[in-house]
Amino acid sequence: MANLVAPKVKKQAVSVTRKMAASLPGLREIASERGLKVHHLGAGYPHPEVTDPRGFLQHQESYFAHLREQEGVNDPDVLPEYLRESYSYTDTLGPVSVRETFARVYGKDWNLTLDPSKLIPTVGASGGISLICSMFERSGEQVAYITDAPTYAGFTARAALCQHASIFSVDMDGEGPKPELMRKQIRAAREQGYFVPFYYTVPDGHNPGGFSFTQKRREEILAVVKEEGILIVEDAPYLYINFADADKRPKPFFSMAPDQVVHLFTGSKIGFPGPRVGFLYSEAQLEISQGQSVPLSELALVESSSELLFHNPAALMGFEALLNEPDGQGGFTELQSMWPLAESKLVVYRENREILLEVLEQELGQYPEYFSWTLPDGGFFTVFSFLADGVNGPVLTDDAMIEQMVMKHGLVVIPMYDFYPIDARQRDTGAGMNQLRLSFCFSESAGQARRDDMREAIHAFCVAAKMLVGLPA
**Distance, CA of 95 to CA of 82 (rounded, Å):** 9
**Distance, CA of 194 to CA of 437 (rounded, Å):** 32
Largest CA distance in the chain: 76
Query: Looking at residue 277, what is its pLDDT?
Result: 86
Q: What is the pTM of this model?
A: 0.92
Show the CA angle centred on residue 427, arms to residues 425 and 431, nearest 5°: 45
Query: Looking at residue 12, what is its pLDDT?
Result: 65
Q: Quick one: which of 210, 263, 331, 211 has its CA closest to 102?
A: 263
- Amino acid residing at 432: G
Q: Which residues contact 204 (CB under 8 A, 6 or more apart)?
A: 212, 213, 236, 238, 239, 241, 242, 250, 252, 378, 379
DSSP designation for 368: T
Burial class, 293, CB count within 10 angstroms (exposed 0-12 / middle 13-18 / buried 19+) = exposed
For residue 247, the SS3 value is: helix
Cβ contact 381:439 at 8 Å? yes
Cβ contact 98:86 at 8 Å? no
Query: Looking at residue 280, what is its pLDDT?
Result: 95
Complete domains list, the chain, with CATH = 16-42+341-468 (3.90.1150.10), 81-322 (3.40.640.10)
Other CB atoms within 10 Å distance of the CB of residue 93: 20
Beta bridge partners of 168: 146
**Distance, CA of 177 to CA of 185 (rounded, Å):** 12
Query: Looking at residue 161, what is its pLDDT?
Result: 80
Query: Looking at residue 427, what is its pLDDT?
Result: 96
Query: Looking at residue 368, what is its pLDDT?
Result: 97
Query: Looking at residue 14, what is its pLDDT?
Result: 58
**Mind listing the pLDDT tens digit of every residue in the chain (473 residues)?**
677 877 776 766 655 555 555 556 676 777 778 888 888 898 887 888 887 878 878 888 898 888 888 878 777 777 787 777 777 776 678 888 899 999 999 999 999 999 999 999 988 888 899 999 999 998 878 999 999 999 999 999 888 887 789 999 999 999 999 999 999 999 999 999 999 999 999 999 999 999 999 999 999 999 999 999 999 999 999 999 999 888 889 999 999 999 999 999 988 887 777 778 889 999 999 998 888 899 999 988 888 876 555 668 888 888 898 899 999 888 999 999 999 888 888 899 999 999 999 999 999 999 999 999 999 999 999 999 999 988 888 999 988 898 889 889 999 899 999 899 999 999 999 999 999 999 999 888 889 999 999 999 999 999 999 999 999 98
**Distance, CA of 301 to CA of 92 (rounded, Å):** 8
Query: Looking at residue 29, what is its pLDDT?
Result: 77
Q: How far is residue 468 CA from its own chain's centroid?
A: 31
Query: Looking at residue 345, what is its pLDDT?
Result: 83
Cβ contact 38:32 at 8 Å? yes
